[in-house]
Chains A and B, each alone.
Chain A
Amino acid sequence: MTLSAHFRPRSEFAASGQYRLLPFRFGRLDDKRYVATNDVGEYVVLSEGDLHAFIERRLAPGSATYNALKVKHFLMDEGARSAVDLLALKYRTRLEPLSEFTGLHIFVVTLRCDHSCHYCQVSRQTEDRQHYDMSAEHAEKALAMVFRSPARDLKIEFQGGEPLLNFECIRYIVVRAEAMNAVAGKNLQFVIATNLSRLTDDMLDFCKAHRVVLSTSLDGPAELHDAQRPVRGGSSHALTLDGIQRVRRALGHDAVAALMTTTPRSLSRVVEIIDEYVRNGFHSIFLRPVSPYGFAVRSSLMRKYSADDWLRFYKAGLARILEINQAGFRLREEFTTILLQKIFSPAGTLYVDLQSPAGIGVAALVYNYDGAVYASDEGRMLAEMGDQSFRLGHVDCDTYDDMMTADALVSTLDSTMLEGVPMCSECPFLPYCGSDPVYHRVTQGDMIGHKALSEHCRRQMAVLRHLLSLLEDDAAARETLMGWM
């Protein structure tokens, strides 16, 4: 039935077909399709024919592609100022987290460790060297820097070595931070990244009282985990599971998260690793690649693997995870979730390693056991390999202002921004990616890097193509993925 005669039909309100282009980037999604993205991370998948018609301004109003491009602000009618206003608003929203500035503050409270993990990023020292511990004086000065950050949400993360070996320092920092926060009024979160082998009931009581959560490593089933995370006199896997149970009993099921590190040994065993997580009641898993730093580079035990190797691992892993979800067990993959947030969330994500401008200093700061301050975790590892490019200073002799406005930091942030470097500036995946100056310095000797030679780039583009294709082509997968945000 049609509307009563004194109402005008839809055809009278059709768009004219004369439109203007708004800024966008495009590239191949697969053999048949292209993907166009805008500065705020919205995307449209389209055929090559439609892409040409769109750019040549002959795309017909009313088609699904035209409508998608219009509502996502890739094209606008002449005079439609609201499209520009909304796009500007979205762009400001996406960049607003920058003004929050540094939210993640990593305290390396000791370099001592009881494990000898093959891929360890840290120059691990054996347990009996006392002068690899952070002092209270340095901790205090580092905390002063933490509270200089304007961020409303502050996360203090304890790392090492094995941070529980210097629990006194953790205790000191938590108590002092809470005292300083009584004035500052921020949202404070504390996390300890630990192998759990040294966990005592006293420590658990303290964590409970101060709402400290824990993050541990679970690389897979026992034989795999123990082979790459050797510990004297026992099984790391057994210690880890035992620790997880104790934490859950004392602090609640979700008080401990687990991460895995992918090694050549793990590459062919992704399903077993995932099943191990499910068996231990985890609803979150982070499929991470290994980074080319520290021990991993120096040791001949570690053969670096290519982006393609990791991609096979990731795709098989994601497929298994989606299957598990569809069978009714809630399991969220964190790397995918970060990318989904960059695609769908108006404010993007705070994940330090995928930011433009880079997350170094701006998103995260590292306070080393010796009082030195680094712009990122990887930057610290680079220093241990002899390259001080990401060392910002030292709490004893440099002020916060000096460190945060140092030319080394600012010019690195400036020169590595994706929007201004070759290949990235035209890449459709720019809004979903991040510059990684430390990675490119290590692998190519230059912070920007030639992206055609970059495994980071290769990996990012392939994962994003895979993810966008899933979202387009697999309705069941899409439903699961959208539920992860």
Chain B
Amino acid sequence: MLVQLSGRGLRPVGRTSASPFIARITEQPNPVMREHILRVRGEDELPEGFRAYLIDEASVALCRCDTYILPPALRYLGEGDVVRIEPLRRALHTLYRRRSRHNTLLVTERCDNYCTMCSQPPKEGDDSWLIDEALQVIDLISPETAEVGITGGEPALLGERLVEILIRLRERLPSTDVHVLSNGRRFSDERLAALVAGVEHARLMIGIPLYSDLPEHHDFVVQAKGAFEETVRGILNLKRRGVRVELRFVIHRDTAERLPAFAEFVARNLLFVDHVALMGLEPTGFAKTNLGALWMEPSEYGAELSRAVRTLVRAGAPLSVYNHALCLLPEEVRPFARQSISDWKNAYFEECDSCARRAECSGFFASAATKRPKGMTAFACAQAALTGESR
């Protein structure tokens, strides 16, 4: 289900304030909550006192400050969602959706790597306002939220401010899993690793990409000399202090060949990590720029993927395969496929409508919709039953 997370096209009705503001949406008109945005779907009266109002239809007797009509694509917004409204640009950004399993906070766009397939290409410049915003959003997130992601850029470049975010998360959302995506290099500094471990966040995992067993090869993929060395030291520093670490490997034309060797390297050297994720390429950002050089059909690397999975399973490593439709995976790999594509960028093809396993299948990236993969086949009900696969 594709979801638009931001858009322009808010239609103000009457006066608006000038500066951007962040607030949580409620659909309860009583009691009046001064910092909340009231979401009104019908033609009800707008009680005064809310920070803003998001409505579907213009109706009579509207004269509240910061009342906006939502464009159709944004009308999914509702109770518990957190948004940033920019009145002068008439823009709205969804920062948190209560009903989604895929909420992430972008904390910086700066990065010290430059991966050839980066889905969020780095930008220079002071963007520390993102941190301040993230802290505000954390205060507004529902406590029953299962998981929040922290991404960038490279979150560890924030240093102590990353620690501040983790502390805020621990205090405000103690039951929420936190998944930080980081290249791990800054954690080669033991002090930062110690600070993060010192937060004692019980539900923290740091997802760290490693693209090869060969240092020079990894360095090429991330376009930074010495990156492999720092990343491995970062992983060791974090694990020594009991921080949970996940290894992530993205499969494309420059990494696929060494995937089996990478699996052997992990089985020998890094078996103390908490999770290993083998991931399909998301053709957006630099991956899209370099698509011709990097894109590989999953069927082209099926053998390598099978061998890697077999090695890791035999070693007892906790393993998942992300971003691959079930029909494109070798049979022995399917039990490890997870529904990993964030709902807001998740798409399926027409073949999928009749597929018996659609509900468990991660489908495709919306950005891949223009590159129809070869070899898609819907599972018939009988077929799914025969293979006896279920999760």
The one of B114, B215, B290 that contacts A80, using a Cβ cutoff of 8 Å: B215
Is B293 among interface residues, defined by CB-CB distance under 8 A? yes
**Which residues of A from 4 to 51 have beta carbons under 8 Å from B?**
4, 7-8, 10, 12-15, 42
Interface size class of A (residues with CB under 8 A): 20 to 34
Is B90 among interface residues, defined by CB-CB distance under 8 A? no
- Asked whether B216 lies within 8 Å of A13 as measured between CB atoms, the reply is yes
Is B314 among interface residues, defined by CB-CB distance under 8 A? yes
- Asked whether B213 lies within 8 Å of A3 as measured between CB atoms, the reply is no
Interface size class of B (residues with CB under 8 A): 20 to 34
- Asked whether B215 lies within 8 Å of A485 as measured between CB atoms, the reply is no
Is B225 among interface residues, defined by CB-CB distance under 8 A? yes
- Distance, CA A14 to CA B271, complexed state (A): 27
Interface centre among A42, A70, A86, A90 (most CB of B within 10 A): A86
The one of B213, B216, B223, B236 that contacts A61, using a Cβ cutoff of 8 Å: B216
A484 nearest in chain B by CB position: B314
Q: What is the distance, in angstroms, from B294's C-beta to the closest C-beta of chain A?
A: 8
**Which residues of A from 67 to 81 have beta carbons under 8 Å from B?**
67, 70-72, 77, 79-81
Return chain A residues, CB-CB under 8 Å to B267.
346
- Asked whether B233 lies within 8 Å of A85 as measured between CB atoms, the reply is yes
- Asked whether A3 lies within 8 Å of B269 as measured between CB atoms, the reply is no
- Asked whether A7 lies within 8 Å of B290 as measured between CB atoms, the reply is yes
Binary per-residue interface labels of chain B (339-375) against chain A in the complex, 1 for a CB within 8 Å, 0 otherwise = 0000000000000000000000000000000000000
- Distance, CA A482 to CA B213, complexed state (A): 20
- Asked whether B290 lies within 8 Å of A71 as measured between CB atoms, the reply is no
Return chain B residues, CB-CB under 8 Å to A14.
216
Return chain A residues, CB-CB under 8 Å to B236.
82, 85-86, 89
- A13 and B293 in contact (CB under 8 A), knowing A70-B215, A71-B214, A346-B268? no
- Asked whether B293 lies within 8 Å of A3 as measured between CB atoms, the reply is yes
- Asked whether A346 lies within 8 Å of B215 as measured between CB atoms, the reply is no
- Distance, CA A67 to CA B257, complexed state (A): 13
- A81 and B214 in contact (CB under 8 A), knowing A3-B116, A346-B268? no
Is A2 among interface residues, defined by CB-CB distance under 8 A? yes
Q: How many A-B residue pairs have CB under 8 A?
A: 66
Is B219 among interface residues, defined by CB-CB distance under 8 A? yes
- Asked whether A82 lies within 8 Å of B214 as measured between CB atoms, the reply is no
A7 nearest in chain B by CB position: B116
Return chain A residues, CB-CB under 8 Å to B116.
3, 7
- Asked whether A71 lies within 8 Å of B314 as measured between CB atoms, the reply is no
The one of A13, A71, A81, A82 that contacts B220, using a Cβ cutoff of 8 Å: A13
Q: What is the distance, in angstroms, from B114's C-beta to the closest C-beta of chain A?
A: 8
**Which residues of A from 59 to 113 have beta carbons under 8 Å from B?**
61, 67, 70-72, 77, 79-82, 85-86, 89-90
Is B379 among interface residues, defined by CB-CB distance under 8 A? no
Return chain A residues, CB-CB under 8 Å to B219.
13
- Distance, CA A4 to CA B287, complexed state (A): 10
Q: What is the distance, in angstroms, from A136's C-beta to the closest C-beta of chain B?
A: 41
Is B389 among interface residues, defined by CB-CB distance under 8 A? no
- Asked whether A82 lies within 8 Å of B229 as measured between CB atoms, the reply is yes
Is B289 among interface residues, defined by CB-CB distance under 8 A? yes
B218 nearest in chain A by CB position: A13
Is B292 among interface residues, defined by CB-CB distance under 8 A? yes
- A8 and B223 in contact (CB under 8 A), knowing A13-B216, A71-B265, A85-B236? yes
Ranked nearest first, the 8 interchain pairs of A and B with the lowest CB-CB distance are A1-B292, A82-B232, A13-B220, A71-B213, A1-B293, A13-B219, A15-B216, A10-B220
Interface residues in chain A, defined as those with a beta carbon under 8 Å from any beta carbon in chain B: 1-4, 7-8, 10, 12-15, 42, 61, 67, 70-72, 77, 79-82, 85-86, 89-90, 346, 482-483, 485
24 contacts between A and B (CB under 8 A): A1-B292, A2-B293, A3-B116, A4-B286, A4-B289, A4-B293, A7-B114, A7-B116, A7-B286, A7-B290, A8-B220, A8-B223, A10-B220, A13-B217, A13-B225, A42-B268, A71-B213, A71-B214, A81-B233, A82-B236, A90-B268, A346-B268, A483-B314, A485-B314
